[in-house]
């Protein structure tokens, strides 16, 4: 049984629920770094969403983000592109920000983010403590079990607040999951319009889809290509990435990459899925 004193840790006047009793000991996620990565991306998403809702594409300037900070994000982006090579290119600069940047934006623009996080003092404590705990190497020591549990509790609460805000913001009674983006490593994306991109037999394309569930549930993706006698496909799984190596029997105009997504709740919005998107290509024979 976990001592009562360790179930609630007081930071200033804020109570953080960190774990619940578990028959096998501490109820801590095996790899707390997953919690840190998830909450960091949730904060990036809400900063981008609130900024765009209030100020459009120029939200960074409206939030007072300095050119030097934006340059640092661009350098981070360039390093990530070099590391990934021909992989998917994330074009939203906020996803190359540091945790401290997100903390400063949210607290510095509190009037904009108060509808999301509600309590400024508690949010400030959570963000400060997560920033400190996410880099234990700076203190030249390993995290304790209590600190790992703190990460799980604080990260979970912040992510829940982001999910709740987004679900209420979009439609008050939203039930179905949705796709937010579908793009390839050549810069093509669903909904961009224009001429069909031209690819050739032997080309290798990598796709990534980003979905959202109003209850924060895990989503599943189903990938297919057409035409072709035995076209590459990927059955339902949590994998939101797919690689398509174009085959000779797929020469066509159009040829399709199809991505379906579903959440765990039934009924689904569209038969066995909640949503499906496709990107059309013109596939030509191999050169030479």
- CATH code for the domain in which residue 251 is found: 2.60.40.2950
Q: Is the pTM of this model over 0.75?
A: no
Contact 149, 19 (CB under 8 A): yes
How open is the CA angle 264-36-139, to the nearest 5 degrees?
Answer: 165
Higher pLDDT, 160 or 69: 69
- For residues 16 and 126, is the Cβ–Cβ distance under 8 A? yes
- Looking up tokens 């496909």 gives 233
Confidence (pLDDT) at 127: 96
What is the C-alpha R_g of the chain?
A: 22
The stretch 119-125 carries a mean pLDDT of 96
Reported as a pLDDT band with limits 50, 70 and 90, residue 41 is: confident
Q: How many CA atoms lie within 13 A of 48 on its CB side?
A: 13
Clarify whether residues 43 and 124 are in a common domain. yes
Q: Is the model's pLDDT at 91 over the cut of 90?
A: no
From CA 204, how far away is CA 135, in angstroms rounded? 37
- pLDDT band per the 50, 70, 90 thresholds, residue 60: very high
Cβ atoms of 117 and 106 within 8 Å: the answer is: yes
Do residue 125 and residue 184 come from a single domain?
Answer: no
Is there a single domain that holds both residue 60 and residue 34? yes
Tell me the C-alpha distance between 202 and 117, whole Å: 49
**Do 132 and 27 share a domain, yes or no?**
yes
Average pLDDT, the chain: 82
Percent of the chain at pLDDT > 70 equals 80
Q: Does residue 257 share a domain with residue 154?
A: no
Please compute the mean of the pLDDT values over residues 50-64 and round it to a whole number: 93
Q: Which of 170, 191, 216 is the last residue of a domain?
A: 170
> Quick one: which of 155, 135, 42 has its CA closest to 95?
42
Full residue range of the structural domain in which residue 120 is found? 4-170
Same-domain check for residues 124 and 188: no
Q: Which of 170, 191, 215 is the last residue of a domain?
A: 170
* Higher-scoring residue by pLDDT: 191, 17: 191
Residue 189 has a pLDDT of 82
Q: Does 140 lie in the same domain as 37? A: yes
pLDDT digit string (tens) for 214-269? 777 899 999 999 998 888 899 999 999 999 999 999 999 999 999 999 999 999 99
What pLDDT does residue 193 have? 59
Residue 25: is its pLDDT beyond 50? no
Residue of higher predicted confidence among 174 and 115? 115
Task: Give the rounded percent of residues in the chain with a pLDDT score beyond 90.
Answer: 51
Pairwise CA distance, residues 210 & 98, whole Å: 21
Cβ atoms 152, 32 nearer than 8 A: yes
Quote the number of domains for the chain. Answer: 2
Q: Are 166 and 134 in contact (CB under 8 A)?
A: no
In this structure, what DSSP letter does residue 272 have?
T
Q: What is the pLDDT of residue 177?
A: 87
- CA 99, 36, 104 angle in degrees (round to 5)? 20
Looking at the structure, tell me whether residues 139 and 202 fall in a common domain. Answer: no
Tell me the per-residue pLDDT of 127-152, one tens digit each, with 9 for 90 and over: 999 998 887 544 556 788 888 888 88
């Amino acid at each position: 049984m976990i001592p009562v004193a360790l179930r609630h840790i007081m930071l200033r006047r804020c109570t953080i629920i960190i774990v619940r009793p578990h028959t096998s000991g501490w109820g801590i996620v095996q790899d707390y770094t997953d919690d840190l990565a998830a909450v960091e991306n949730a904060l990036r998403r809400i900063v981008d969403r609130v900024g765009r809702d209030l100020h459009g594409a120029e939200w960074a300037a409206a939030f007072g983000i300095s050119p030097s900070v934006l340059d640092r994000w661009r350098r981070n982006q360039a390093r990530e592109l070099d590391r990934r090579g021909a992989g998917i290119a994330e074009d939203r600069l906020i996803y190359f920000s540091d945790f401290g940047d997100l903390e400063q934006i949210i607290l510095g623009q509190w009037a904009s983010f108060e509808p999301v996080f509600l309590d400024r003092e508690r949010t400030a404590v959570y963000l400060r403590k997560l920033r400190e705990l996410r880099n234990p190497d700076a203190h030249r020591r390993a995290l304790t079990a209590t600190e790992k549990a703190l990460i799980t509790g604080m990260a979970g609460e912040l992510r829940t607040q982001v999910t709740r805000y987004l679900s209420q913001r979009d439609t008050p009674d939203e039930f179905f999951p949705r796709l937010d983006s579908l793009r390839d490593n050549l810069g093509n994306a669903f909904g961009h319009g224009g001429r069909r991109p031209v690819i050739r037999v032997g080309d290798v394309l990598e796709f990534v889809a980003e979905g959202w569930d109003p209850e924060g549930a895990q989503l599943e993706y189903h990938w297919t290509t057409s035409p072709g006698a035995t076209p590459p496909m990927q059955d339902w799984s949590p994998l939101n990435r797919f690689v398509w190596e174009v085959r000779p029997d797929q020469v066509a105009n159009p040829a399709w990459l199809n991505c379906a997504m579903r959440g765990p709740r039934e009924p689904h919005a569209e038969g066995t899925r909640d949503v499906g998107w496709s990107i059309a290509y013109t596939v030509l024979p191999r050169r030479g």
